[in-house]
Structure 1
Amino acid sequence: MVRAIRDTSRQFTIESSVKKDITLLFLRTKMEEPVNETNDKKVVVIGGGPAGLTASYQLSKAGVKSIVLEKDQTVGGISRTANYKNYYFDIGGHRFFTKIKEVEDIWKEVLGDDFLRRTRLT
């Protein structure tokens, strides 16, 4: 089961980029290994942005339980859309774009027809 909850901690800091790279490499390696059906271990995912939600989704597909800790009221990180007085604002100055087939496949699998395409105005 994948759940999203509000993070009550003040701050989470990764001390160095090397440590972050090692952590991500470890996760990728462990996900490629077969999952033991009796495995009762759970993974904590820090942050409900695109990377955190993708990690949790991939873990759930592999049969690994995870929990997503998010400090904001909504998930999505810098790719969420905020609604203020019936006006919509995209948070973050980017668009989803990729030439990587695996990334595109995940978008199609998760979002299906709900993936919205917007014409760029600027």
Structure 2
Amino acid sequence: MTHSNSAGTVGPIIFADTTARRQLLQEGEVVTLRKTTRTTGETWWRESRLGPKQGDVLVTEIGTVDPKQEESLAEYRELSGFESVRKWQAAIQKLNGSLPDTGHLYRVVTRE
């Protein structure tokens, strides 16, 4: 299900976590978990909410998961950039203040 709006505007995606940023920069793609749904499609990424544009990306939705369940993240762990699901969960918890009951996975790929 795509969440891009009718005007075609897709908000930028923020990668505050250094591990996820490194994965995107080095591999050209990253799987990221967001607490709430977000728009998908062509956009750009930045390191912070008000930071400058770092690059162009394509955001596609993978689906909804329970991030508290290791098996729901295990399939995507390698593309997350984290060494283990537990380290990914710790980063999710740090960025969100807690580990949410529901999360939304997105694949983000760099564009030229």
Task: Report 1 or 2 for greater relative contact order, CA contacts < 8 Å, sequence distance ≥ 6.
Answer: 2
TM-score tier after normalising by the smaller chain length: under 0.3
TM-score, with length taken from structure 1: 0.25
Over alpha carbons, which structure has the higher Rg? Answer: 1
Structure having the larger proportion of residues in helix? 1
TM-score, with length taken from structure 2: 0.26
